[in-house]
Amino acid sequence: MKRGGRKISVIGDRFMLSSMFEAALREHCRLHELDIRTHDLPWPDQPMEHGYAVAGMAGLKEYMGTAEETVRLVGDAEIVVTQLAPFSAGIMDQTPNLKLIAVSRGGPVNIDMKAARDRGITVVNTPGRNASAVAEFTIGAILAETRNITKGHDALRKGEYRGDLYRADVTGRELSEMTVGLIGYGEVGRRVVNFLKVFGCRILVCDPYVQLSAQDMKDGVMQCDLDKLLAESDVVSLHPRVTAETTRMMNEKTLRKMKKDATLVNTARGPLMDYDALYEVMKSGHLRGAMLETFAIEPVPPDWPLLQLPNVTLTPHIAGASVRTVTYAAGLAAAEVNRYLSGQPLVHVC
């Protein structure tokens, strides 16, 4: 590998491959001489750490790798491109040449942002990197629950041919005759709205901080408050950011406000849900089904009660996992590195 030029440490993993990062950097930064060193962390084959669980990692949430390993991999690099490598205050103090961190995710949860600001280290991210993937997955999740795809699959796996799923009182309804409510109208929510229009369903959106687009309003999408959305939606799909306001927003009170026999889909974030309350609501039969893609604790414990319920479908936080997510995020990060090297204003500064 050629040495010489601006020193960049690429710390990828087995999803965001360092080879894809490097290819994007060489394409976007072809007018600059680069000294790129690459490494891949073992995620997702090994789970992430959480900042509160390890001494010296305060201010971090999800990350992969130890402080010692990160300091070694960064070395004397001026620029780091990564998805999961941790950057605590202590790590930054041991990498004095570091000036730019490009994080290939929507939020820099693996970085102590205050420490970065205090040390003059710029952090950029890749907003919306997996919005298309999550939106597609959400449509699949809605169909899997409303049309008994999961129930039929589970039964056949156990050697049971469930002809009763054709009964009128058991079979699912088509989206064209349902109301679908979306909580959150960000990058993912807007894409889900566009996909849902094709099915001909009535669409409600609750997001007090964003206005509907002119096209969505023209197409009959309605903006409303949370109570109206919960009361009228046959399917409720979650897409807000995690904030103090939205943490556990789906709790005993709000879940009981949903229509009886409605379906809940969460392809956003685990902290949005009160899972103990959801278990009780699902066990009581108030909701037809729930599709959960993210959780408060990951991996989920094997004895987790929600795993035992027949009206709950779960997937291991894979909605954003697509090859396009990798290539798109790598391109966004590389474009920011090129702007930095060229002395141009950065676009996605955290």
Compute the distance between CA of residue 44 and CA of residue 190 in angstroms, rounded to an integer.
28
What DSSP string runs through 256-321? Answer: HHSPTT-EEEE-S-GGGB-HHHHHHHHHHT-SSEEEE---SSSSPPTT-GGGG-TTEEE--S-TT-
The neighbouring-strand residues paired with 63 are: 49
* E-assigned strand segments in 134-214: 179-183, 202-206
Catalytic residue among 317, 336, 339, 348: 317
Catalytic residue among 105, 191, 202, 269: 269
Catalytic site residue 27? Answer: no
How open is the CA angle 125-127-132, to the nearest 5 degrees?
Answer: 140
Compute the distance between CA of residue 278 and CA of residue 269 in angstroms, rounded to an integer.
15
Contact (CB, 8 A) for 139 and 117: no
CA torsion sign for 127, 189, 325, 321 is positive
- Beta-carbon count within 10 A of 153 CB: 12
The neighbouring-strand residues paired with 104 are: none
Contact (CB, 8 A) for 267 and 120: no
Catalytic site residue 317? Answer: yes
Catalytic residue among 14, 177, 298, 324: 298
Catalytic site residue 50? Answer: no
Residues serving a catalytic function are: 269, 298, 317
